Amino acid sequence: MSTTRFASLALLGLTSVASANTVATDGGSSIAVAAEPETPLAKRLEGRISMLLGGSDVGDADGFSIGVSLGIGYRLGDATVRAMFDHYRVGDSENEIDVRRGRGTRLGGAVRYSFANSNPDYDKTSGGLGMDFWGEAGMGLEHITWREGGVLDRPSGEVAVGFDLDVYGRRKDGNRRRHLGYFMAFRTLIARGPEMDGPAVCGGPCTTATKPSRMDVSMFFELGLHWGR
């Protein structure tokens, strides 16, 4: 008796599963089709070249700076991993006495995230124009060479915000597109300066005399081109 009951329950279960996997269509039935897989995240290998304009800060030597920057990165969705090379002027402003001059070279890496963009939806296959607002943070090694002699090596951090304006092509296999455009950004390099000699002083009205801060902050406006696929 129990064997017959178990067989009946098993048959009923199989019938229920078969019924759940059929769809009524014009008096007949057909097997339901599985949902199509989601479109993969957008991928891009990109390069960048740009000009730097701003002010460099190395200890008590700070002044106008101009330089160049090169970068290469790989983007997956809204996140990008980048490697960077920067070369720029360091030293005092030209209107100071006994002007010190030098060059700074920086190698670093950063992670960038797109906060908002108007790039095409994954379902759009045609080309067009897009904008991208992003922020990034990274670390690097700075090498400073003074014209009169001497070098300074130190780690430095970087934070930046900017936006891209780019023209993109038609979507290809793997959700890839060709991109070309320009970008603008504001970059800040933060590093610990060398130890300064001398007593604690007040550089202006103050309640407590201190030595000059050892935190060097260099700020640059960046304008350049980017391309990728």
Tell me whether residue 183 is in a domain.
Answer: yes
Domain of residue 164 covers 43-195+212-228
**Single-letter amino acid, residue 187:** R
Which pLDDT does position 112 carry in this prediction? 97
Tell me whether residue 10 is in a domain.
Answer: no
CATH of the domain at 182: 2.40.160.20
Asked if the model's pLDDT at residue 44 lies above 80, the reply is yes
Confidence tier at 23 by pLDDT (50, 70, 90): very low
Report how far residue 117's alpha carbon sits from residue 96's, in angstroms, rounded to the nearest whole number: 44
pLDDT in tens, 109-120: 999 999 998 865
3-state SS class at 33 = coil
| Secondary-structure breakdown of the chain: helix, strand, coil percentages, each rounded to the nearest 5 | 10, 60, 30
Least confident of 78-87, 104-113, 183-192, 207-216: 207-216
Q: CA separation (Å) from 120 to 44, 126, 177, 197?
A: 14, 9, 10, 56
Tell me whether residue 152 is in a domain.
Answer: yes
* Residue of higher predicted confidence among 75 and 123: 75
pTM over 0.85: no
* Residue of higher predicted confidence among 110 and 211: 110
Which pLDDT does position 170 carry in this prediction? 75
pLDDT in tens, 140-191: 999 999 998 999 999 999 999 999 998 887 777 666 778 899 999 999 999 9
**Single-letter amino acid, residue 43:** K
What is the CB neighbour count within 10 angstroms for residue 68? 14
Strand 43-58 relative to strand 61-76, pairing: antiparallel
